[in-house]
Chain A
């Protein structure tokens, strides 16, 4: 009986679905200037200083503005600041703010908002992860409503970019507990899109700001759909449920190639701001010999990893910068190329001899170590397996251990209890390397966890962040890349490609070094 009832129900639903006047058929046909994008994660908090996940910043990026921003060529340009000056000694930055900018609730934007944003970020009571850059500030003043001045104790080049931090509305937050503010789920900004609605676990909806100072965005509605599974998102894309998503290499290469697909969608491809590396624990005698580290790099075929793991959707990394950016040195002289014979020679030079079992040994100890990586990243695991196979060929025995992220960090990385790790970093827009590479950052929970100490590198890092002269900075970073290539404290493996796909209904997309989202407010529908 119940079976029959279910069948009836199903039949009814199918009929309803086919009915022409069902509202869902209409919306699909309309589409209009609504833009739907898919995201794996849900935003956590729309007050930008309280969140550090990418979903929150996707939304915040459209609702708020900073004083400065990166343009399509990754150069800093004015956003809420119309212009700025750096004093000759590099200690003072004066921002001249844009006039006539209004918050979404109609209030005027002034220097008071900037001052408030700075103060609340450095306030010890605010649980934010972004206070560090602002803590370098010695004093901040707002001489008038449209001028904002900060003074630093010493010249600090990344300072300028740190003012890209979204500015918060002082009139809604001042004197209140920011952690309990309704703005975290109902933000009010100055940006091109106005927050409309957040349905938890399902979607966030923004609407175009008709009074935006750069002109109203042409796509009138922005829908951020939360679809936690990549395969489901791909189905939604094909069924017209989302207009844009990031593809995996397999999807890009194998599942989105047909004529029909390419007529309905445009695919884009450019280097992502991230790299994957193999990091050696330099506290261990085994890795203190640079010849061993260079031998390992020589034994690894990076091109093969890119083909095998990314299906070619990436490029070889030589250092910590993204290809094509101003600090990136295209040809690094010291970089060891793939050469297994050279790898063997280097190991022999370091005193290792090939044993009967095909493993290099020195003083009776085999050259053997474990590569650790975190769970849930299939690319890293595959990468480790390819490396294992390559190193075996030159007589290095590799074991692989995969661990849950939290215990990986707490029990192994923080305690320095690892031999080799396979991990990744995102590449920040500013090329300063202080946090990851400076020898003062080797303490517990700090990021130079491989314990790389090089006074020459320290000096160049400090020099590079201590000047606003781009030519001088570039020179420092070029030298740093040579040193890292020579020393191989990491074997830099690859920079993957970002692979977004957008429905061809959307026009006006201009791929640039910054990706495709830089001119989002100019995208339109025919």
Chain B
């Protein structure tokens, strides 16, 4: 097990290098440069201005030199400074946006698993009944309805018409002078709409997945045996079937790890949530290479760690895998 672990971790290093090399190349292949984005179509910017800006950002150097410099900085955990006019350290820009994105995603993830798994089990147990179909319709409506549209309708109803909930942002104006209790309540109020809508939209995938694995497990011989022994249906479902049906879900959970720092651009834009999705989108549009690379590297690390963790958890949960690899 320890050997396996060390091997896996060592494998991550070349993998990460490869990912950075490919992404670095691909970003630079996209037409347009940060300087171009800032000065294009501006009557005030001359060729000399452009040259000056390119030199300032180090864009006048050959690509492999730029990559080398970026990599050597990265090895010291220095992500560089953003090419946006603010010229701030990339890490600062990411740091101020990551807490809200992670909290939102963690809460949404917990809600998603907390709701989708029971829904999936319910659908599987009552397979092909009216209940199953009603659940299917419900989750697919959530999946199919465009988030931004649903969000706007809910904002109009709860924010404008009823006035119960705030419409956008994450804090009320002046909330910094309130007590901790009211500040938390204020934050919670702001998160109700975004989180409910995000969860509603993501139920379909996981609940359908749960339903199909559960159906598969329920049709296996050992379940029939258990039924033949006269075990109660509740025990069959929750003790015998669920354990096995949950195994593939561990992999899904592992895959969700990198998604924790990613945000949906549309979603964040609609609710004015200053999260990672917007930051990344703006970075790409402005060809802000250091920022884009910074976010991609963190994302890549989390993906790799997520995969590793999923494999490990799998091994812990499933004795067949554990023993098979010795």
Contact = CB atoms under 8 A, between A and B. Distances in A.
A231 B152 contact: yes
Interface string A424-459: 010010000001100000010111000000000000
A126 to B, nearest CB: 8
29 contacts: A2-B114, A2-B115, A2-B118, A13-B188, A14-B164, A16-B185, A16-B189, A24-B175, A27-B174, A34-B173, A124-B52, A128-B49, A129-B44, A132-B45, A132-B46, A132-B49, A179-B87, A180-B87, A200-B97, A201-B275, A201-B279, A202-B170, A229-B270, A235-B160, A235-B168, A239-B163, A411-B31, A425-B41, A445-B40
B43 A447 contact: yes
Contacts of A124: 52
A488 interface: no
B270 to A, nearest CB: 5
A225 B272 CA distance: 9
Given A6-B111, A223-B173, A435-B43, A232 B85 contact: no
Of A180, A201, A411, A428, which is in contact with the most chain B CB atoms at under 10 Å from its CB?
A201
Contact of B52 (A127, A180, A225): A127
Interface in A40-76: 44-45, 50-53, 56
A228 B272 contact: yes
Contacts of A18: 164
Closest 3 CB pairs of A and B: A201-B274, A406-B32, A2-B114
A226 B178 CA distance: 22
A407 B182 contact: no
B20 interface: no
A235 B274 contact: no
A239 B159 contact: yes
A131 interface: yes
A27 B38 contact: no
Interface residues of B, number: 73
A229 B269 contact: yes
Nearest to A162: B44
B30 interface: yes
A36 B173 CA distance: 10
A242 to B, nearest CB: 10
B119 to A, nearest CB: 9
A125 B115 CA distance: 57
Interface string B157-177: 001100111111111111100
A258 interface: no
B85 A235 contact: no
A250 interface: no
Contact of A235 (B45, B159, B173, B189): B159
Nearest to A403: B31
B42 interface: yes
